[in-house]
Amino acid sequence: MKRLAWNDLDGPARDAALARPVQACTADLREGVQRIIAEVRRHGDAALLRFTASYDRCELDRLEVAQAEFDEAEAALEPALKAAIREAAGRIELFHRTAAPRPVAVDTAPGVRVERVLRPVACVGLYVPAGSAPLPSTALMLGVPARIAGCAEVVLCSPARADGRCDPAVLYAARVVGVHRVFKLGGAQAIAAMAYGTASVPRCDKLFGPGNAWVTEAKLQVSTDPQGAAIDMPAGPSEVLVVADAQAAPAFVAADLLSQAEHGPDSQVLLVSPSAGLIDAVAAEVERQCAALPRSGIAREALAHSRLIEVDSLEQALEVSNRYAPEHLILQVAEPRTWLARVESAGSVFLGAWTPESVGDYASGSNHVLPTYGYARSHSGVSVASFQKQISVQELTPAGLRAIGPCTATLAAAEQLEAHRRAVTLRLAALDERAGVSVA
């Protein structure tokens, strides 16, 4: 990991210090995704079967997972894993149900009732990767809020293994959270299928979930097509920023850094600390722990573009963090909650030495589908609200229109929208006539 002293850097050097790895969005990638989407739109299931044979190296006779496959997956899993999936789903449900938006109704003036009503997105598509490692936790993170929101149809796509089956833990998690249909599809072709629909795969209104560069590019392309589908958020590689003081445990900090570095070679991890001694100790501990990891090769690639940044104070450390806007922010400092008010931009925050980022990935109850690549400046993680539409409603009595009609008419006239003004003044005149008031 490259070591830097923040106050020795000028403006451009600071920008470079916080730069993410360049996302692989080459012309070849864009054109390749465009071709896949076009093929799926043109040839439907036939294109999906062909892509599955080519990319996943398995021949399928049907794309949808049969009920018998769910039963076999459940029987194949260890009881401890099934129990952990159910336990995590329960906590995710508790938090998301508690945090879900509520209908609102308020009288903004006498006789003027304004409301917000909630409606689920009708059909949603969930993408669960299964590249270097299957992610049943993502099925939980997406499926639980979709169920709470009340989505009428929840579709999930996950790549098939070489034996033509989806990962059994993913299937079990999908069953636990009530996903309606699962398809053996991965990559850009899965996104295209859910966005536009085929004979087998329903067309979805909104797509959710992480993926590789091909999946990310496909989501971006379909989200800009009026005939495509909305998406949860822009996505990039996993990342974590740890703010630590001199009292932090180097082994804990190193473990948290490596937990994100092992995600992929394009992941990025940063330590920001005012303690030079802590930075030294963490650097040594990262090296020691990394050597013992099964995915050490992947982690080392990520560490090559990661940073150890020395600052003057914890105040400055939080300034650096807000500038970076990390997906995950860990505050391994004394009295971490006192610093929470300083956090302006982060996908998810982890307070104190006993709160590893891993619990948020799996079992604390928060969601792990979060904005990356700096999008935490303007985006939030997935929640029940992500699967809902918020519709405003207003209802006026005659007295209500008398109360706010003149204000409305004045503003409409200022904007030179005469039809807007008359829609109000005609009604006010009708009310005056009904009341016997002279309008001469």
Catalytic residue among 262, 328, 357, 368: 328
Length of the chain: 440
Please name which of 379, 353, 370 lies closest in space to residue 238, comparing C-alpha atoms.
370
Residue 30: both structure tokens together: 């864009």
Supply φ then ψ for residue 310, to 5 degrees: -95, 130
Question: How far separated are the first and last CA of the chain, in Å rounded?
Answer: 82
Compute the half-sphere exposure of residue 103: CA atoms within 13 Å on the CB side of its CA: 8
Which letter does DSSP use for residue 293 in this model?
A: -
15 is in an annotated binding site: no
CA distance 319 to 160: 44
**Is 238 a known ligand-binding residue?**
yes
Q: Is 227 annotated as a binding residue?
A: no
Cα distance between residue 121 and residue 434, in whole Å: 43
Is 263 labelled as part of a ligand binding site? Answer: yes
Active-site residue (options: 96, 327, 357, 368): 327
361 annotated as belonging to a binding site for a ligand: yes
- With the CA atoms of 342, 344, 346 and 352 taken in that order, what torsion angle do they form, in degrees rounded to the nearest 10? 10
The distance from CA 380 to its chain's CA centroid, rounded to whole angstroms, is 7
Residue 212, annotated as binding a ligand: yes
Query: Does 348 show up as a binding residue in the annotation?
Result: no
Cα separation, 302 vs 18, in Å, equals: 14
Helix (H) or strand (E) holding 287: helix 276-290
Task: Give 16's Cβ-side CA count (13 Å radius).
Answer: 9
Residues facing residue 395 across a β-bridge:
113
Contact 69, 256 (CB under 8 A): no
Widest Cα–Cα separation across the chain: 91
d(CA 58, CA 340): 49
3-state secondary structure 343-383: CCCCCEEEECCCCCHHHHHHCCCCCCCCCCCCHHHCCCCCC
The two tokens of residue 237 are 């590689």
The question of whether 96 is a catalytic residue gets the answer no
φ, ψ of residue 330 to 5 degrees: the values are -110, 125
329, β-bridge pairs: 241, 349
8 A C-beta contact, residue 400 and residue 112: yes
Distance CA 135, CA 146 (A): 17
Q: Cα(351)–Cα(339) distance, rounded to whole angstroms?
A: 9
* Angle between helix 296-303 and helix 276-290 axes, rounded to 10 deg: 150
> Does the annotation mark 315 as catalytic?
no
Which residues are annotated binding-site positions for substrate?
238, 260, 263, 328, 361, 415, 420
Binding site feature residues for NAD(+): 127, 189, 212
Q: Which residues are catalytic?
A: 327-328
From the annotation, which residues make up the binding site for Zn(2+)?
260, 263, 361, 420
Pick out the residues of the known binding site: 127, 189, 212, 238, 260, 263, 328, 361, 415, 420
